[in-house]
Structure 1
Amino acid sequence: MSTTITKPMAHNAPAGAPANGAHIDARTWIAVLAGMLGAFMAVLDIQITNSSLRDILGSLSATQEEGSWISTAYLCAEIVVIPMTALFVRALGQRRYLMLTTALFLGFSTLCGAAWSLSSMIVFRMMQGFTGGALIPMAMTLVMTRLPPAKRAVGMAMFGLTATLAPAMGPTLGGYLTELYGWPSIFYINWVPGVLLIAGMYWGIDREPMDLKALVKADWLGIAFMAVGLASLTIFLEEGNSKDWFESGFIITFASLALVGILGWIVIGFSRPEPFVNLRLYGQRNFLVATVLSAVIGMGLYGSSFLLPLFLGQIAGYSPMQIGEVIAWVGLPQLFVMPFVARLSQKIDNRILCSFGLGLFGVSCLMNAYMDASTGYDQLMLSQIIRALGQPFVMLTLSNFAMAGIPPKDMTSASSLFNMTRNLGGSVGIALLATALTNREHFHSERLGESVSLVSAATQARLDALTQSFLAKGFDPATAAQQAIGAIDRIVRRESFVMAYNDGFFIVGMILLVAIIPLWFSDKLKSPSGGGGGGH
């Protein structure tokens, strides 16, 4: 039997947070908006290098396989630092920590743009991820600690936009900047939001005392196990497909380290009275359901923004700018939908809204499971718009489920674990889809190859037509016959890739639709609305 949980969000208002119905001054909104800008910047930078990778690798004299570490290093460091933000906030205070980590993020972004070799780029990207990762959970924490319950739906709506817009816009913005100003500009552009963020934090958040003893007394053994476990898991997921998974000693090593690290972290986390991040929150049903679905949404967000640019670049031959124009339709409608969703979340059971969003998101992916080699901008626009309509319903409501009834002292822990899980889900999704693409392309290539036999009449007729076409262009008969066979082979390869991309979208769509089932194990919930009551 389900119960409505809205009051705890009001009763557990963090110390110093305004009571429901209190007036919110400009300073508070500036601080919250600055936090959103930081989260957007940090998520955007995960994939901003994707469109520019060819240019970056060319200037650093690196191979495609080596270049995958440019993204892996950033993601590894970001996932590791997210659970540590609660500790750093206790030690340095919100304002000081956010300003310091943003300043360091800007410094390492600049060094990325000035990198002189692949190894220097990987080191700077890792440090960029380590300093930027904290900005993601802190944006959510600012909403929960600075806004009264009735205003949190608006804050969570803004936070949801940073999580859904940034993965879609990363490759787009990276492509535009690289084409216009060269690849270093994708790192230098961070100075624009970064300086605004530091100014917003300086003006919007009060100075807090430092407690450096918290760093001395911290559970560094647990942190070490966590860092090894999460970093190794990310490397295992990101590099597994290119190294043929468990056929590689490298992958087996990192899989073992991931298992030991995460198990060690769990054992230590549950045995210490004051762990650096509170894993006991997973014992709360709503939080557990929200974090599991956060991983699923990470798979959907990063998976779809991994598949579509690859398809458009490889099959349709689109430039980064043209790919950006297609992907923009996932982002733009969300700006108009999110305020509407925030209002609805105060009136309708969030499980209904989240189910609706997962349904739209899943259906949009299934629509992309029937593409052909001629699919482009016009054919993809409807599925992109449906995806844009669905994502805000999911992100806002999952944030509400994750933070409902969380005690004030655990706000930062809850935010860290929720956001860490989404990023890990993204890594799992991309690893799953990269492997599925490889395997399904081989499968379809073999099946098509069996059908396109040189002894079949249809194949012979097509070969004869192609041979005549090459003869008409001036090729000698032997070369024309070879060119015709090559053309048939390229068509088979292209079609097998198209079918593999379709399979990838089908997998993502089905996972999103199946995720509606565990959602209903959570309690009924609405966002708190205005007045003094804190909900209904």
Structure 2
Amino acid sequence: MAVQEDFKPFTGPTLLLAGVVLALTNFMVVLDTTIANVSVAHISGSLGISSTQGTWVITSYAVAEAICVPLTGWLAGRFGTVKTFIFGMLGFGLFSMLCGLSNSLTMLVACRIGQGLCGGPLMPLSQTLLLRIFPKEQQGQAMGLWAMTTVTAPILGPILGGTISDSWSWHWIFFINIPIAALCAFGAHRLLSPAETGTEKLAMDKIGLALLVVWIGALQIMLDIGREHDWFGDGLIVILAIVAAIGLVVFVAWEITERQPIVDLRVFRHRGFTVSVISLAFAFAAFFASAVLIPQWLQSSMGYTATYAGYVTAFTGVGAVAMSPIVAKLIDKVDPRGLVCFGILWLGATSLLRVHWTSGADFWTLAMPQLLQGIGMPFFFIPLTTIGLGAVEPEETASAAGVMSFLRTMAGAIGTSVATTLYANNAVVARSEIVSKLNADPTSAAMQAGGFSLDQVRSTIEQTVTQESYAMAINHLFLLSAIVFAFAAMIIWVSPRPTRAVEAGAAH
């Protein structure tokens, strides 16, 4: 694949087809972050595992993707942007096939990790190549195309995942990636070869990468298996916690002193960047955790199919699509800190709307907070990126964007693990509280007088107590989420107002 030094942007049908290939790739990778959310119940039932273990399918992908994102620049510089893109696409397709063929949790999680490692670079690379092949005057349209796929994929993910899981089987949420990956890899090879970038033998921060994998891996495994192992009452969890803590300290020390770090932590010297990342991490952790848990609760306690759980959760994207153009116009006219504060407080308010959900809630009672939540999403993401990247030096923008993407993805994975554990523990506590106040004798007598047998009475009471305990548990989580959102909204005012504009595309 030759490198064309005097590369000129594409025109005509070639530009159109290449743009479609890149947009479709980005759509598929983003889709896979949400398509499994509503399929956890199907996967758990098929593999004979708990719903808590089922969420490992989501967190393993997110963590692997987060680890690989900082490597994107090195991979593109060492092997070429187009080659890296094609091999990532082929690897994503291969691991998607293996995910669909998995017959055990171990195999599925391992293949999801492979999927995340291959898919991690595809999102930033698709954007890089779009900016490269489109003429300067059309790059705004290119970013609009890219943004459209980024926003619409999370809407269709839950609907598609639910429909496929109910109509066929959960395996097909992975199999559908195979023809798309093959088509995009072939299209990239035929169309994008002239856009290949130069390569050079770049030094790699191998020690930094190893430390990154060790401490993140130990932390995520600890969070995922902690509940089953009685947390710090188990020696394995204690060891994992020590490894994660020591690994993090050594990693930070190494990266600060390394000349070419795998993650450039020096960008944290800018107060605006540090504050925006803290706000982003807390808010996204609370948001993503609810996106994972709501479908589980709907299916396990409310009797929803995966398809209808997908319809409920997909409403978030509708509001986001509608408000994104408005926020883009406001960003230059209004203090972005005010937009961020408004957006995150709005997310907190929608969490409070969910605090009063009951086991008798109808479809629109459940869907309306999702729709309203979507309205606040662009106010949260777009200005927060402007504040963070606008606070660093222009030459640090790429590194800062990589760090933001890495920490956002990690926050989502960690938030999901923590929320899943709290959800299960809260359900146990709520069940104890209900049972302690339950006077079963009058209820039992009334039901038996109505013709129920004693076994039917006990089964009905048991089912009701379980259903209500999980409703109380998820309500507690929504209240906690509202508090987290409030903190994330207020801390943004510690950041100074950005002093420079951020170039289109730098956010990703």
The TM-score with structure 1 as length reference comes to 0.81
Specify which of 175, 188, 200 is matched with residue 188 of structure 1: 175
Equivalence for 1:208: 197
Cα distance, 1:522–1:195 mapped onto 2, change above 3 Å: farther
Equivalence for 2:447: 466
Farther-moved stretch of structure 1 (441-450 vs 145-154): 145-154
* 1:59 CA displacement: 5.5
1:17-96 matches, cutoff 5 A: 37-56=24-43, 67-96=54-83
Equivalence for 1:443: 429
Aligned length: 495
Cα distance, 1:334–1:28 mapped onto 2, change above 3 Å: farther
Name the SS of the counterpart of 2:38 in structure 1: coil
Q: Which runs of 5+ in 2 are unaligned?
A: 1-5, 504-508
CA contact (8 A) 1:48 1:173 kept: yes
Farther-moved stretch of structure 1 (299-308 vs 319-328): 299-308
Specify which of 257, 261, 275 is matched with residue 243 of structure 2: 257
Specify which of 397, 400, 404 is matched with residue 418 of structure 1: 404
* 1:288 CA displacement: 1.4
Equivalence for 1:243: 229
Give deviations 1:176-214, integer Å, cap 9, x for gaps. Answer: 112233323211222455356543686467211221x21
| 1:133 aligns to 2:114 (yes or no) | no
1:356-375 matches, cutoff 5 A: 356-375=342-361
Distance in 1 separating the partners of 2:160 and 2:93: 18
CA contact (8 A) 2:288 2:412 kept: yes
| 1:284 aligns to 2:284 (yes or no) | no
* 1:174 CA displacement: 1.6
Equivalence for 2:305: 319
Cα distance, 1:69–1:385 mapped onto 2, change above 3 Å: closer
* 1:58 CA displacement: 5.8
Equivalence for 1:517: 490
* 1:309 CA displacement: 1.0
Give deviations 1:425-455, integer Å, cap 9, x for gaps. Answer: 112222232232233223322332232245x
Distance in 2 separating the partners of 1:231 and 1:135: 22
Farther-moved stretch of structure 1 (521-530 vs 115-124): 521-530
The TM-score with structure 2 as length reference comes to 0.85
Which residue identity lines up with residue 467 of structure 1 in the other structure? Q
Distance in 2 separating the partners of 1:399 and 1:312: 33
* 1:389 CA displacement: 0.5
Distance in 2 separating the partners of 1:84 and 1:55: 34
1:452-491 matches, cutoff 5 A: 452-453=438-439, 460-469=441-450, 472=451, 475=453, 480=454, 482-491=455-464
Equivalence for 1:104: 91
Give deviations 1:119-166, integer Å, cap 9, x for gaps. Answer: 433332221111111224445666888899999887777766666655
* 1:242 CA displacement: 3.5
* 1:421 CA displacement: 0.9
Name the SS of the counterpart of 1:182 in structure 2: coil
CA contact (8 A) 1:299 1:429 kept: yes
Equivalence for 1:173: 160
Larger radius of gyration: 1
Task: Give the fraction of aligned pairs with identical amino acids, expressed as a percent.
Answer: 26
| 1:505 aligns to 2:505 (yes or no) | no
Higher relative CO (Cα under 8 Å, sequence separation at least 6) belongs to: 1
Specify which of 303, 317, 321 is matched with residue 289 of structure 2: 303
Q: Which runs of 5+ in 1 are unaligned?
A: 1-15, 455-459, 531-536
Cα distance, 1:76–1:54 mapped onto 2, change above 3 Å: same
Let me know the Cα RMSD of the aligned residues.
3.5
Which residue identity lines up with residue 492 of structure 1 in the other structure? V
* 1:39 CA displacement: 4.3
CA contact (8 A) 1:164 1:301 kept: no
Equivalence for 2:3: none
Name the SS of the counterpart of 2:465 in structure 1: helix
Farther-moved stretch of structure 1 (357-366 vs 409-418): 409-418
Cα distance, 1:184–1:441 mapped onto 2, change above 3 Å: closer
Name the SS of the counterpart of 1:370 in structure 2: coil
Which residue identity lines up with residue 174 of structure 2 in the other structure? F
Distance in 2 separating the partners of 1:17 and 1:282: 36
